[in-house]
Amino acid sequence: MGALLRTTLLLCSFCLLIQGVPLLLYANRRDLRLVDAAHGKANATVVVGGLEDAAAVDYVYARGLVYWSDVSEEAIKCTAFNRSGDSSAPQTVVVVSGLASPDGLACDWLGGKLYWTDSETNRVEVAELDGSLRKVLFWRELDQPRAIALDPERG
């Protein structure tokens, strides 16, 4: 079922508000897209294109950064967000070593942390948004963890 979920249009998404307009940022395997949630996918803008197998996506509004995991490249990457549709911003590899299938991803925009799941190594990990100070949080009694969500305001 996990492989099927990766190929669906809205594999991992979340809503955000920019200037009062509800937007949906989602991974579509080969790219990350942004769409005006009120008007449907006809007006989707490619934020990052040419990806191998994007599985999860999250956003840090205050820093203008989009993060995503790519299960084929076994990496977590980020780029500066550009709503204009110019998807040529450079991509930065944030985490690459020790990843096998980074399926889930969540950004803590208050604490400056990045959390992810890896369904092959059966781990939940955390690092700073730049990938430093990486730590395994959970690895026992996990069976293919995939999605992750957090509530930074409640700690």
Say if residues 41 and 31 touch (Cβ distance below 8 Å): no
The answer to pTM > 0.85 is no
d(CA 96, CA 88): 21
Mean pLDDT of 138-155: 90
Q: Which residue has the higher pLDDT, 12 or 99?
A: 99
DSSP string, 44-63: -EEEE-S-S-EEEEEEEGGG
Helices assigned H by DSSP within the chain: 2-7
d(CA 101, CA 67): 16
Looking at residue 55, its pLDDT comes to: 93
Asked if residue 8 has pLDDT above 60, the reply is no
**CATH class, 2-154 region:** mainly beta
The count of C-alpha atoms lying within 13 angstroms of the C-alpha of 38, restricted to the half-sphere facing its C-beta, is 5
Q: pLDDT band at residue 96, thresholds of 50, 70 and 90? A: confident
Residue 19, helix vs strand vs coil: coil
* Domain limits, the chain: 2-154
